[in-house]
Amino acid sequence: MSQALLKRGDRAQDIENKIREGIISGTYAPGSALRQEELAQQFEASRMPIREALRALSVEGLVQLVPNKGAVVAPISAAELRENFEMREAAETLAIRLSVPHLSNVQIDKAAQIQRDIKGAGIADYGALNKTFHCTLYAPAQRPRLLAHIQSLHDLAERYLRFTLKYFDYQPKSAEEHDAILQACYQRDAKEAERLTSKHITEAGSILEEYLANN
């Protein structure tokens, strides 16, 4: 592959990352248009990497490509949120159940350190750290496709997570639930870790779903 192609690909990836962050943070509001010419001017780029970035984000579900209208930021949707946390609950309870019998104290200690980092993190860093916390506990399950699936669900859920953190002061409750999951892992209680993981995912999702449905 030529250096020119590599640079073009890197440029598209950089633009994709910046648009993704803008959507997750709310800089690009749900339902707003993402006009190629405006983005090209903003990022001082040609339209080609902009098109590539928008196409990739549409696959993630963050952008909708509407015929005769162009790209728009995917709306905040109670139905999408429910589907996401239902899929997360199914995948992550399976992952923790398979993982706990193989977890070492070193691995649990690593997750505990990530949780300490989470307690001091701002909203912008919370999502990535939260994903890493959970995936650290799931890694010993040795199910790489399952883990990749869980990571993609976390990525899609991040703007909902930021909404929850901002409007519901969710961090103290999440920290308490993470600590309980860690204790169940230290005790190698797979059944309790599974129950706590299910509760952790579904309660947060249900609170926000009810808010979105009523507003």
Please tell me the pTM assigned to this model.
Answer: 0.80
Instruction: Give CA–CA dist 26/45, Å, rounded.
Output: 22
Domains within the chain, CATH numbers bracketed: 3-73 (1.10.10.10), 78-214 (1.20.120.530)
pLDDT of residue 182: 98
Nearest to 183 by CA among 112, 114, 120, 130: 112
Q: Closest Cα to residue 185, out of 113, 127, 116, 112?
A: 112
Computed on alpha carbons and rounded to an integer, the radius of gyration of the chain in Å comes to: 19
Per-residue pLDDT of the chain (215 residues; tens, 9 = 90+): 444 444 666 778 899 999 998 888 888 988 899 999 999 999 999 889 999 999 999 988 889 998 888 999 988 888 888 999 999 999 999 999 999 999 999 999 999 999 999 998 888 888 899 999 999 999 999 999 999 999 989 988 888 888 787 778 788 899 999 999 999 999 999 999 999 999 999 998 888 888 887 77
Give strand pairing partners of 70.
66
Look at residue 197 in the predicted model and tell me its pLDDT. 98
